Amino acid sequence: MLTIAALTFKEVVRRRILLVTVALAVIFLSLYGTAVHYGYQDMTSSHYAGSMNALIAPMFLSIGLYFGSFIVAFLAVMAAVGAISGEIENGIINAIIPSPVRRLDIVLGKFIGYALMLSVFASLFYVAVLLIVQLNTGLSAPVRAGAVGLFCLQPVILLALTMFGTTFLSTLANGIGSFMLYAVGVVGGMMEQIGYLAKSQVLVDIGVFSSLLMPADSVYRKIVYGLMSTPDVSLSNMMLGPFGSFSEPSVWMLVYTGFYIVFFLAMASLIFSRKDI
């Protein structure tokens, strides 16, 4: 299993998926850093800012993590979209199956390899966003292990879903399906926040349902709620609107997320073990 994980990491590097994503991340962070630098100066110097100055830096941090979530989601899907189907289409899997390696070990090995790579990338990305905000705004925000862990959890959710799809869908269909489901979760999360603002229970229910289909956005909402909250009040809804969080997702959503990952991994292993190659 560990051998498969190591080979999986090497495969990501060989296919230059990681290189492309790192390049995109550097471009994003460069533009983001420029925006934070000049935006913070202009906003704090404005006479309209007043007592809201202390909230501007956390706002920039939350926005950086929100759009950063798209980059780590892109890496998760593109890395694993052809993990099984691509090797079947290319015939590479035929060289692995006859060896004394269980198909379960192949699925879990690939998942572990991708998950480790995604966790390292997401952690570094989170720290980079935090440093950009600190250097440009002076915000004293420690690197919270819980927030980093939740940020790393987002791509792992998509990874489990993509690993499931790659066992029975073509590479293209799996990529489209995974991205579309991620988009459903993101849009549903925004609808839920708008529902809280407009006092529309229907929109809130749509958001809750979409979070069950794809809980990645709920994980982001939990991160931003923690970053933008004090013991007395949450500021994320005031500063970010639909990009913030009017209520903190419960710990049961994290429990559900854990079962979500395990379920799709189990289904991927089951389907692949019965697949006639």
pLDDT digits (tens, 9 = 90+) for 177-210: 999 999 999 998 888 888 888 888 999 899 889 9
Spatial CA neighbour of 107 closest among 160, 154, 152, 155:
160
**pLDDT of res. 258:** 95
Cβ contact 210:191 at 8 Å: yes
**pLDDT of res. 93:** 60
Distance CA 145, CA 202 (A): 35
Indicate whether 47 pLDDT > 60.
Answer: no
Spatial CA neighbour of 170 closest among 89, 110, 265:
89
Which residues have C-beta within 8 Å of that of residue 210, sequence separation ≥ 6?
184, 185, 187, 188, 189, 191, 192, 217
- The residue-averaged pLDDT of 144-171 equals 91
Distance CA 157, CA 162 (A): 9
pLDDT digits (tens, 9 = 90+) for 203-262: 989 988 999 999 999 999 888 887 776 544 455 555 566 667 777 788 899 999 999 999
Residue type, 220: Y
pTM: 0.87
**pLDDT of res. 6:** 75
pLDDT digits (tens, 9 = 90+) for 98-116: 566 677 888 888 899 899 9
Distance CA 128, CA 124 (A): 6
Indicate whether 121 pLDDT > 50.
Answer: yes
**pLDDT of res. 231:** 47
Domain boundaries, given as residue ranges, for the chain: 2-274
pLDDT digits (tens, 9 = 90+) for 59-98: 788 888 888 998 999 889 988 888 788 767 666 665 555 5
